Chains A and B, each alone.
Chain A
């Protein structure tokens, strides 16, 4: 699915030279849920941007479903972002002026889906994340968790090859965060390939594999035999609350 070979990224401002990524080799298989762990400045965001085709590597190769991404021009990259990648950001990044439904429609807007079909698919995606009832609400009328669910619906609507989630729970309270994780795990069970970036150890334990980054290098890759299940944690939390009452 994703294959990265000897990927390096150097920022050269003329005064300082920062090596954000150094010769990274990484492979993500179809249907996998992988977490990228690392402190800030470890290069995980840079990798995320490159995987998301928002940025280009300085050297090395990146193949997405066999497509050599490093050789594509800007318009082709835009098309890859549109068709093959679903983004979920820490700060949600919804358009503030339009409602949830219209936000979910945005990627289809750029892939030329017919307006009627677009609306239908946007509804379906919102239903999938349990937010159909709030389709007509604007982002500022939704809670953080709800906003992130709109963002997930938007990421899924063009049926991408891979879902890239950059600290998706970073701006959420524990409970909302767990709900989002639970949705992500559900999607993964249904076959979605997921790459999640986090700096929280506990969040990363929900993935099947965690790769650790430090100072631009991939330092460790570990398999999680029994990933934590967000749905179960939520259930336990609920139970606990009921007990204390």
Chain B
């Protein structure tokens, strides 16, 4: 007997119990759909986050002070001289900027709000890949003379003046000092939540406002090429250790964007996998549904089994008939689930502005898994069907 005919027979039998078959398939449909949804959206999100991080510059690295065993923080503190020395002594460095963090109230003509205030120098926009929507970033001259200028982000500009355009040329009071806004940065993607109000100002101005001479929290640098990032960061640390006579190599530490991207990538992949696996459990439940309905079907069709055996069906023919029926059922459910999963992923990815990543592997896995579910959960009922005694089966009412 040909396989195609058995499939046709299975389809007829499934069609004869339309409602029941549809309800049975629902389990598999939901299972496959949710697995594809989770994995697709997860992978899309992963790509999106990595792109986002990449936009900060893949050549980026940050140097910070790690553990100071001797408690002599003053000795190891970064200085502006360090930055100059690094710039001059390391060839592979493209730019390095000091960063001083602060958080304080900023007062506009109409309102007052708290903002993060970064003190840095004129290369900061280049190092962090910062784009300006309006105006300009402050430059090294502004920095050298400690001019009272600053760049704010779009959020703050809109809060204070209604738009970025309006903000440039205006002044805001930061810690009682009026500072001129020379530029406004472009809005970010909003991927990591709403942006906080931000202020970037010359580091010397920052020192003055926060009364903290040479209080530099981190150094951010970029290497001339991606391959040289680690090497450059290590050289920077070497220079710092020499300049500050740090005997303990734990004092200065660095982290690169590449490392962070890798870590984020790993975490996201694990999250996707875990949620995917949880979604996969619904596939298993769907499989049990198939098994249940196949058991009912075998009992209901006991007489049919007897008739077919009397007409010359071998046990393996009966077995195949029921097995194919359960596989057709699960495969049909899997296919519908796949189509639904992909369609809904497309909609969600579009809405979330996440790139649509449909990997062939995921789709193939979902289909193969639903076939496997059909075989696995169909095996027992089919075997039960095949083991019927023809005489008993013929007598079954």
Judge whether B314 and A107 touch: CB under 8 Å.
no
Q: How far is the CB of A159 from chain B (nearest CB, A)?
A: 13
Judge whether A78 and B309 touch: CB under 8 Å.
yes
Q: Is the interface of B mostly helix, strand, loop or mixed?
A: helix
Judge whether B311 and A49 touch: CB under 8 Å.
no
Q: Which residue of B lies closest to A114 (CB)?
A: B2
- Knowing A54-B391, A97-B16 touch, does A106 contact B314 (C-beta < 8 A)? no
Using an 8 Å CB-CB cutoff, how does the interface string of A47-85 with B read, 1 for contact, 0 for none?
001001011000000000000000000110011011100
**In the complex, B48 has a CB within 8 A of chain A:** no
Residues 114 to 156 of chain B near chain A (Cβ within 8 Å): none
**In the complex, B12 has a CB within 8 A of chain A:** yes
Judge whether A83 and B307 touch: CB under 8 Å.
no
Judge whether B312 and A87 touch: CB under 8 Å.
no
Using an 8 Å CB-CB cutoff, how does the interface string of B305-321 with A read, 1 for contact, 0 for none?
01111111111110000
Q: How far is the CB of B170 from chain A (nearest CB, A)?
A: 82
Q: How far is the CB of B3 from chain A (nearest CB, A)?
A: 13
Interface size classification for chain A: 20 to 34
Judge whether B5 and A115 touch: CB under 8 Å.
yes
Q: How far is the CB of B318 from chain A (nearest CB, A)?
A: 10
Contacts of A109 in B (CB 8 A): 1, 5, 311
Judge whether B314 and A78 touch: CB under 8 Å.
yes
CA distance A52 to B312 in the complex (A): 11
**In the complex, A205 has a CB within 8 A of chain B:** no
**In the complex, A93 has a CB within 8 A of chain B:** yes
Contacts of A49 in B (CB 8 A): 391
CA distance A74 to B316 in the complex (A): 11
Judge whether A110 and B313 touch: CB under 8 Å.
yes
**In the complex, A233 has a CB within 8 A of chain B:** no
**In the complex, B277 has a CB within 8 A of chain A:** no
Contacts of A107 in B (CB 8 A): 311-312
Judge whether B312 and A79 touch: CB under 8 Å.
yes
Selected A-B contacts with CB under 8 Å, 30 pairs = A52-B310, A54-B309, A54-B391, A74-B314, A74-B315, A75-B314, A75-B315, A75-B316, A78-B309, A78-B314, A78-B315, A79-B312, A81-B311, A83-B312, A89-B394, A93-B394, A94-B307, A97-B12, A106-B307, A106-B308, A107-B311, A109-B1, A109-B5, A109-B311, A110-B1, A110-B308, A110-B313, A110-B314, A110-B317, A115-B5
**Chain A residues packing against B (C-beta within 8 Å):** 49, 52, 54-55, 74-75, 78-79, 81-83, 87, 89, 93-95, 97-98, 106-107, 109-112, 115, 154, 158
Q: A106-B308, A109-B311 are in contact. List 13 more A-B contacts (CB 8 A).
A: A54-B391, A75-B314, A78-B313, A82-B311, A93-B310, A95-B307, A97-B13, A109-B5, A110-B1, A110-B308, A110-B311, A110-B312, A110-B314
